[in-house]
Amino acid sequence: MKLVAPSMLACDFGNLENEILMVNKSKADWFHIDVMDGVFVPNISFGTPIMNVLKKHSKKPLDVHLMIVNPDNYLENFSKLGANVLTVHAEACTHLHRTVQRIKNLGMKAGVALNPHTPISSLESIINEIDLVCLMSVNPGFGGQSFIENTYKKVVDLKSLINISNSNALIEIDGGVNSKNAKKLIEQGADVLVAGSFVFKSENPTNTISDLSALIN
Ligand code: DX5
Ligand code: ZN
């Protein structure tokens, strides 16, 4: 089963409760939630107040993507806010192994995100400890950017690292995902597709989610 995770960053925040209910009723598997601090990435998105609304209304797992410096200071906070998967950036963690252990000890699945320039080989010594690798297929910070084609090669390399290591890590692709690249990403080994603009800027987000899910399953 391959998963679709709509990125709430692209939803209508003036209508947040209804957007959450739409995702609840749709074929989506997870909520993807982008937390940006304006330091690790050149944009600020949202934090605790929006997370509280998501926690209150969502009926599907919350996949929280932290694009922040010093994520260690907030792991407990996001656990209390209902995160099921908590993803930190490898580039933001000096002691990534310790951070991953702490996420798991708090009862969450541990994800590690890699920026487009960060090689897959940087995960060799930790791939067996993590539940999910989020490959950034755009430079993080904004929705609506174009998919970086080199991601395909990274998916193949990551899948091979996972296989030779006997790791159970899921491969998530984040940024510029649409119906044109979804199938190839899955064929090359991706498990979870995040889609923001493609879903929420479409005429009928519910149908777009169903179509994407059908395309990859
Ligand atoms: C980018 C975020 C993505 C983004 C995806 O920094 O991590 O999750 O919301 O949005 P689209 O699908 O519009 O590229
Ligand atoms: Zn994201």
pLDDT at position 95, please? 98
pLDDT at position 98, please? 98
Quickly state the pLDDT bin for 44 (edges 50, 70, 90).
very high
Largest CA distance in the chain: 46
CA 208 → CA 32, 70, 102, 162, distances in Å? 16, 36, 36, 30
The 10s digit of each residue's pLDDT in 168-195 is 999 999 999 999 999 999 999 999 999 9
Ligand 1 closest atom vs CA 137: 14
pLDDT at position 208, please? 98
Number of domains in the chain: 1
CB 6 less than 6 A from any atom of ligand 1:
no
Residues contacting 196, CB < 8 A, separation 6+: 6, 7, 8, 9, 10, 32, 143, 144
pLDDT at position 199, please? 98
pLDDT at position 196, please? 98
Average pLDDT score, the chain? 98
pLDDT at position 93, please? 98
Average pLDDT over residues 12-27: 98
The CATH number of residue 93's host domain is 3.20.20.70
Spatial distance between the Cα atoms of 58 and 31, rounded to a whole number of angstroms: 8
Q: What are phi and psi of 163, to 5 degrees?
A: -65, -45
pLDDT at position 83, please? 98
pLDDT at position 42, please? 98
Here the tokens at position 137 are: 């297929």
Considering only CA atoms, which of 188, 184, 187, 205 is closest in space to residue 196?
Answer: 205
Quickly state the pLDDT bin for 35 (edges 50, 70, 90).
very high
Query: Which of 4, 13, 30, 34 is the pocket-test mutation for ligand 1 (most atoms within 8 Å of CB)?
Result: 34
Residue identifier of the C-alpha nearest atom 9 of ligand 1: 143
Here the tokens at position 172 are: 């998530």
CB 7 less than 6 A from any atom of ligand 1:
yes
pLDDT at position 29, please? 99
Here the tokens at position 148 are: 């970086």
The 10s digit of each residue's pLDDT in 115-162 is 999 999 999 999 999 999 999 999 999 999 999 999 999 999 999 999
Spatial distance between the Cα atoms of 200 and 209, rounded to a whole number of angstroms: 9
Quickly state the pLDDT bin for 85 (edges 50, 70, 90).
very high
pLDDT at position 73, please? 98
Domain containing 56 equals 3-216
Spatial distance between the Cα atoms of 39 and 54, rounded to a whole number of angstroms: 24
The 10s digit of each residue's pLDDT in 196-208 is 999 999 999 999 9
Residues classed as catalytic = 34, 174
What is the helix (H) or strand (E) element at residue 135, kind and residue range? strand 132-136
Residue type, 161: L
pLDDT at position 201, please? 98
pTM score over 0.95: yes
Here the tokens at position 150 are: 């080199």
CB 138 less than 6 A from any atom of ligand 1:
yes
